[in-house]
């Protein structure tokens, strides 16, 4: 490739100084596990971001990065989008949280109803976990049942985290009420309904992951759910407005009863929403979901500007276009370097993941760590996935592929020499956030065929 790649080990002196203060007073040193130091090659990767613009960020030491993490997928337009920023600034000038509701609550609700197939009503929260958890509560209120069937990641609340290895402080009964099933394995959901035929209130799931639904999987899930008198909820925190303007439900043609949205709804300004059919949503007249910042106008103003821009600029189409170039380009490079058995870019083009398979020789987390180190060395902030935005243009994709070309070449040297990866890491390898998770999260190279 003709792209010039800049290679430089980042200086992280100020990052380390700030972290030395943080680790004494902030548990885990961070507010978000996936941003923690154990998710990056410690001693090499930056720890603190100072600012961002478009698809670039600058750390506190002044190092500039092409950002492929983008605030954990929250920035669908890019950092400091001028239209969203202006809407927020205008709102700040006249106030944010008031003593009575604001018209923005109605404006944004109407926009969601226009955009999302299942939406006939909406209520707002601040985090994705707010929205997924009220989905569960709405379903329980409508069905008078307590048990949950789930597939995917759904946030920090008790009903989900109870079945992970980070469940200290959560009453045990939550584990008995929540049951995981595997994506594309309808029999695993059937088994749950067979064991609890009249107890499941809701099937909540990420409708699209890195895997493509097979054999009408989502249609079968909906039919099975309704046949057993439960509600179907889609967690669209990740997929909403990214996979398609109307979310995964628009893309797949499978409409749930209720759904949770966040992240892209407001380009990362804190806001989430539960949307759904009126027959179910209006239980919230009596089912408690109320808090001071539920109608805060900062997130609502951001969404009021963001949602029309996503439609006007055809952002989801752009993400698929540049994402396909990136996905196809990576897989071609892996083949050229003779590494296709070791690594693959998989998933929908708008949200792809780099998978690693050590072929019985290498540890996949060490492989991920090595690639992260080499991408950061070349100015790409990277965590094994591509959270593409409207700001990522073809030249950014070309630069990323040029960096991948060099990183793959460096890894091929390790393979050819029979070296251990740890000898080539300039810090401890990354660690998993969860070790005990739902079955579908353990995807492998065998599941790589997603168009």
pLDDT, one tens digit per residue, over 271-318 is 999 999 999 999 999 999 999 999 999 999 999 999 999 999 999 999
pLDDT computed for residue 176 by the predictor: 95
User: Which of 158-162, 185-189, 354-358, 438-442 is the least confident region?
Assistant: 438-442
Q: Would the pLDDT of 158 be above 80?
A: yes
Comparing CA positions, the residue from 156, 179, 180 lying closest to residue 169 is: 156
Mean of the pLDDT values across residues 357-376? Answer: 97
Query: Distance (Å, rounded) from C-alpha 383 to C-alpha 39?
Result: 8
pLDDT computed for residue 433 by the predictor: 74
Q: Would the pLDDT of 184 be above 60?
A: yes
pLDDT computed for residue 432 by the predictor: 86
In this structure, are residues 47 and 16 in contact, taking their beta carbons and an 8 Å threshold? yes
Query: Distance (Å, rounded) from C-alpha 269 to C-alpha 153?
Result: 21
Mean pLDDT of the chain: 94
- The confidence band for 166, taking pLDDT boundaries of 50, 70 and 90, is confident
pLDDT computed for residue 144 by the predictor: 98
State the CB neighbour count (10 A cutoff) for residue 69: 22
- The interaxial angle of helices 82-94 and 297-312, nearest 10 deg, is 150
pLDDT computed for residue 443 by the predictor: 42
- The confidence band for 436, taking pLDDT boundaries of 50, 70 and 90, is low
Can you give the residue ranges of every domain in the chain? 13-67+315-447, 82-312
Reported CATH class of domain 13-67+315-447:
alpha beta
Query: Distance (Å, rounded) from C-alpha 358 to C-alpha 366?
Result: 9
Q: Would the pLDDT of 440 be above 50?
A: no
Can you tell me which residue has the tokens 């008790």?
Answer: 158
pTM of the model: 0.94
Q: Would the pLDDT of 148 be above 60?
A: yes
In this structure, are residues 9 and 377 in contact, taking their beta carbons and an 8 Å threshold? yes
Query: Distance (Å, rounded) from C-alpha 140 to C-alpha 148?
Result: 9
Instruction: Provide the pairing of β-strand 380-381 with 385-386.
Output: unpaired
Exposure of 94 by Cβ count < 10 A (0-12 exposed, 13-18 middle, 19+ buried)? exposed
Tens digit of pLDDT for each residue in 231-254? 999 999 999 999 999 999 999 999
Tens digit of pLDDT for each residue in 77-129? 999 999 999 999 999 999 999 999 999 999 999 999 999 999 999 999 999 99
SS3 64: strand
State the CB neighbour count (10 A cutoff) for residue 7: 10
pLDDT computed for residue 5 by the predictor: 95
pLDDT computed for residue 437 by the predictor: 47
Mean of the pLDDT values across residues 195-209? Answer: 97
CA distances from 257 to 159, 176, 236, 285, 395 (A): 20, 24, 13, 18, 41
Query: Distance (Å, rounded) from C-alpha 429 to C-alpha 431?
Result: 7
Mean of the pLDDT values across residues 323-331? Answer: 98
Tens digit of pLDDT for each residue in 38-73? 999 999 999 999 999 999 999 999 999 999 999 999
pLDDT computed for residue 435 by the predictor: 55
Query: Distance (Å, rounded) from C-alpha 326 to C-alpha 94?
Result: 43
Q: Which residues contact 149 (CB under 8 A, 6 or more apart)?
A: 179, 180, 181, 189, 192, 193, 200, 202, 203, 204, 230
Can you tell me which residue has the tokens 């596990």?
Answer: 33
In this structure, are residues 128 and 236 in contact, taking their beta carbons and an 8 Å threshold? no
How much of the chain exceeds pLDDT 90, in percent?
92
DSSP letter string over 333-389? HHHHTT-TTTEEEEEETTEEEEEE--TTTS-HHHHHHHHHHHHHHTTEE-SSEE---
Q: Which residues contact 154 (CB under 8 A, 6 or more apart)?
A: 128, 129, 132, 160, 204, 206, 235
In this structure, are residues 139 and 109 in contact, taking their beta carbons and an 8 Å threshold? no
pLDDT computed for residue 450 by the predictor: 44
Query: Distance (Å, rounded) from C-alpha 55 to C-alpha 58?
Result: 11
How much of the chain exceeds pLDDT 70, in percent?
96
pLDDT computed for residue 438 by the predictor: 38
Report the CATH architecture of 82-312.
3-Layer(aba) Sandwich (3.40)
Half-sphere exposure of 319 (CA within 13 A, CB side): 32
Q: Of the segments 154-158, 242-246, 437-441, which one has the largest average pLDDT value?
A: 242-246
Instruction: Provide the pairing of β-strand 178-180 with 147-151.
Output: parallel
Query: Distance (Å, rounded) from C-alpha 332 to C-alpha 329?
Result: 5
Query: Distance (Å, rounded) from C-alpha 157 to C-alpha 128?
Result: 10
């Amino acid at each position: 490739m003709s792209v010039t790649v800049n290679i430089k080990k980042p200086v992280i002196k100020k990052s380390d100084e700030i972290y030395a203060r943080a680790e004494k007073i902030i548990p885990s040193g961070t507010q978000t596990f996936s941003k923690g130091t154990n998710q990056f090659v410690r001693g090499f990767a930056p720890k603190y971001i100072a600012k961002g613009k478009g698809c670039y960020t600058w750390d506190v030491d002044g190092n500039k990065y092409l950002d492929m993490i983008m605030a954990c997928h929250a920035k669908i337009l890019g950092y400091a989008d001028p239209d969203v920023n202006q809407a927020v600034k205008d709102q700040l000038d006249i106030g944010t949280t008031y003593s009575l509701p604001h018209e923005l609550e109605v404006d944004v609700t109407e926009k969601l109803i226009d955009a999302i197939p299942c939406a006939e009503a909406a209520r707002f929260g601040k985090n994705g976990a707010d929205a997924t958890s009220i989905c569960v509560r709405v379903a329980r209120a409508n069905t008078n049942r307590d048990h949950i069937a789930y597939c995917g990641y759904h946030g920090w609340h008790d009903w989900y985290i109870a079945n992970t290895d980070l469940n200290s402080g959560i009453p045990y009964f939550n584990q008995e009420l929540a049951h995981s099933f595997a994506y594309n394995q309808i029999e695993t959901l059937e088994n749950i309904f067979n064991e609890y035929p009249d107890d499941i209130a809701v099937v909540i799931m990420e409708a699209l992951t890195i895997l493509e639904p097979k054999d009408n999987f989502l249609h079968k899930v909906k039919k099975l759910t309704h046949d057993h008198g439960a509600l179907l909820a889609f967690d669209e925190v990740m997929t909403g407005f990214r996979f398609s303007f109307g979310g995964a439900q628009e893309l797949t043609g499978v409409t749930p009863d209720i759904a949770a949205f966040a992240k892209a709804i407001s380009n990362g300004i804190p806001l989430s929403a539960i949307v759904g059919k009126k027959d179910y949503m209006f239980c919230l007249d009596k089912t408690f979901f109320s808090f001071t910042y539920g109608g805060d106008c900062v997130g609502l103003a951001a969404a009021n500007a963001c949602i029309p821009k996503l439609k006007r600029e055809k952002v989801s189409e752009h993400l698929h276009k540049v994402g396909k170039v990136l996905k196809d380009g990576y897989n071609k490079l892996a083949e050229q370097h003779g590494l296709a058995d070791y690594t693959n870019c998989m998933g929908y083009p708008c949200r792809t993941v780099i998978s690693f398979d050590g072929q019985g020789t290498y540890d996949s987390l060490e492989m991920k760590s090595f690639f992260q180190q080499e991408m950061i060395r070349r100015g790409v902030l990277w965590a094994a996935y591509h959270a593409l935005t409207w700001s990522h243009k073809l030249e950014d994709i070309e630069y990323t592929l040029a960096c991948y070309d060099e990183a793959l070449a460096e890894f091929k040297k390790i393979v050819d020499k029979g070296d251990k990866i740890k000898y080539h890491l300039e810090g401890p390898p990354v660690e998993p956030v969860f070790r005990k998770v739902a079955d579908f999260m353990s995807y492998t190279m065998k599941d790589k065929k997603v168009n």
